[in-house]
Structure 1
């Protein structure tokens, strides 16, 4: 199974690594190229906001594979080479002026963190977190910081706050929503998770945003929209991410909240596929389009997309979203997608922050969330995957936590 032009994977991330592995598992024997904007081999991003910041681990253990592993797969590496454009008619990727032809293309460029609006470059000490270099620069600043302001109480913001507090800084978390994690977990469980910050000496300010960053050349304070002024040596912005599709503008691909794909992860062109944070695909489990931002979803999608890119008959890619977060010594984990109504059924010790919450989607189980009970979450996988009746999930939870 080969073709004159190479299979090219753009994005040397977890998804990029799994994509090249999927291509080879499908039996493709031709040329396979992995293009990445960073100089590093594919590495693990979740520790960037946790163990790398606190110094528990260093850079090298983050690597997901060795150069020898990729050589064994027959992968040609083009690292430190960002893609800047895509010419579908010519079937070529533009690489900073050069052009790379492809037979099939897999897009795995992930996402980029959103920045605060600011006239010109932000002051020194203001950080976004995406790459290992970002994390190392932030760690250097955190080791000297007294006052840290984290903007955004999502999972990444909460993990950075936890890490900064562990390093001894005074930490304030600013969140525009009424409670942390409301988009992912709903306000009821979000408010409970907010107690984690407060129990560990971190100040949580919800229902307000950033009006202005003060200080030149380095940040000295953050002024909030409610008029409050917070002293700050370091500011970390964690207000969400955007799919990394800028290099695809004008290519003809549908780029509505990522690369729009069908249920097989095909991007609307017979030789183009996408996977990971950059892909907005029709998830056959739910029958609707979604873009997932989790480690497990990226890995599952990329293996399927890699196989489909070289297989004769592509197959759908069903994914039950699973994500986890480590904060203040506790593991938070969720499986599935919640429904519109915020009506969780809680089993366990809600006030002691050790519980399961079951979130309905109509009369079906939508999502299971576990705080400090990571041992139980995967016992619900079959029920969530099959969209089982909500009562079945409640019965299982009551039995497990009894």
Structure 2
């Protein structure tokens, strides 16, 4: 078995490292940050936040992979009473149910959406403009784009179906994503993987295959390949801790514009000190909009669903996430059109914006398995499910 170098110690990089080491390969992981995890890091301190709302979808291939290796760990289920407090912001008010027209697009028997038409055009033909607009905005919970209706109808429909499936596919690792990353890192270590943190790589090593498991921007700079680009989203992030008060909503989905806020301590009390609630919001913003525009929309949702929240704030953090929302497919494109995993000369890409199927982190997982398969020239392919 050759020596494999993995550049990037996030979810994709650790998936690749564990998978390669399980075949007997020697693996070294280089991570530029002082801790592993990449986008899946959970902040340290009394308020445990991720870089934007995170969830694991149980319908994806990475779920069974993690479960088989005992890497999932304890999960934080949403109590039924909390789930009943999901609210929808529609026509300026909070509602408990979506518009009837939107439900037409959520039926499993609805027509398969085309790849080469934008979602708004296709959905309007199926359910009318009001239902199409509400469905497009709701889908932002799984794609974080400022204009979901302009994207490929097939791309949006897949995410809409996954986000609204019953029972829900979204699950939350107790203690945040860092708990999963820690278990993955421990398994890699036990398999003999060498992991170097605070190790930025500026030139590709020459001692075997290399898997570049970084953001597409970092990969483009490292490989000096200007073709490594893809459409992406930009979001404003707002994390707020407030003193507990009965009656607060569990989550609010904005159907008038893309946006979502969620009280994550509803399912996991370990994320904030006793007597406090942690609310996280991710609001897509257009190229011409500022972070302040997105934060203002998040605050408006908080005003509606968390009475007196401003006087209850104990901690607050704002940020902007550029290109950290995964791949976004425009009409006429699918995952197959994104930057190829095999870059030639023993170099392979893994991450959430490359040519692999899946939703959100599933793209990172699938691309990591594919990269290892190609790097090691495994005849019997690994457990990779193509959509």
TM-score, normalised on structure 1?
A: 0.38
TM-score, normalised on structure 2?
A: 0.40
Rg bigger for which structure? 1
Normalized per residue, which structure has more helix?
2
Higher relative contact order (CA 8 A, sep 6+): 2
